[in-house]
Amino acid sequence: MSFNLSLPIAIGCDHAGYEYKAALVKWLEEKGYSVKNFGTDSPDSVDYPDFAHPTASSVEKGETAFGILLCGSANGVAITANKHQNIRAGLCWENEVASLVRKHNDANMICIPARFVALDLAKEMIETFINTEFEGGRHANRVGKIACA
């Protein structure tokens, strides 16, 4: 399944991901995508759940095509997003991982560790995430077992 790119792309971050988020919003808009920015919009220290939850909620409700979350390690935003029942947020640090979280896990959010990957790699991973489809098949059965309810 591919993303409905007629919807905006959700993006959110904490202070550690702010600079990357600002650059990525500009880059995505230059590529013709609509982006819904859930903040933060400054480098001042904030609590990542305050931004990860609304970003994930927009994806979960179908208001946005998919989500991008950034923080220092991406662990905090990934853990937070994955608390949402219909979110599958994958922490990605290289392009092959971005491909696999789509192919095998049907991820609908990509979480990027801004302190550990170059901005160009973040862009490459997002391109891969957008353009890779879920393979289904044996993976669909596994993904179907993720939900707790």
Cα(43)–Cα(62) distance, integer angstroms: 29
Residue 71 annotated in active site: yes
- DSSP assignment, residue 8? P
Per annotation, catalytic residue among 13, 71, 92, 111: 71
Helix or strand holding residue 111 (H, E): strand 109-113
Tokens of 5: 């790119």
CA distance 64 to 72: 24
Active-site residue flag, 84: no
For 40-107, give the DSSP string: --SSS---THHHHHHHHHHHHTTSSS-EEEEESSSHHHHHHHTTSTT--EEE-SSHHHHHHHHHTT--
Q: Which residues pair with 13 in a beta bridge?
A: 70
What positions carry a catalytic annotation?
71, 104
